[in-house]
Structure 1
Amino acid sequence: MNLYKISQNTNNNWETYDSAVVVANSVEKARQIIPAHWMRGWLPDEDDRDSWVAPEEVHVEFIGVVDADYLDKLNGRTTVVSSYNNG
């Protein structure tokens, strides 16, 4: 599994994400992820898209590879950390 930084410069309003570090199998899978507040423990769905952008507007940068122990600690979450512009 890989670690990616995802970011966007399109939706810069309050209560939006500008970037996140996520875990995914590929660049395309990372592009599909909607960031979440990892401390809340919830997983976002399509209804949360207004706090992010469409996949084609997401910039993806490869960071590195994640080991199995770290994946277990995520308990199914894909967002490691996110930057949220609270309003």
Structure 2
Amino acid sequence: MAVRKLSVSLPEEVAEAVVAAAERAGLTVSAWMTRAAAHSARIEAGLAAVAEWEAEHGAITAGELSQAAAVLADADARMFGGADDARLTG
């Protein structure tokens, strides 16, 4: 994989939080920031896909959201052995 070096500027308190989070995760700052940036990019792509779908098909209904939540909960249970939702919100 090609790597591109970038220089970023962060407020001191954010930089300290990043360094601490990377240390807790056992990662370099570069690896932690790569993971965080990739996560954010996936969220943005997902939101864009939902907006595109809704533009074509209309707003997602509460029932559809409930059905999606059930599918995701089932997948989560299969992947993580049924861990409760507390780890997702806390």
Same structural fold, with TM-score higher than 0.5 when normalized by the shorter chain: no
Bigger RCO (CA 8 Å, 6+ sep):
1
Q: Higher strand fraction: Structure 1 or Structure 2?
A: 1
Bin the TM-score by the shorter chain.
under 0.3
Q: Higher helix fraction: Structure 1 or Structure 2?
A: 2
TM-score by length of 2: 0.22
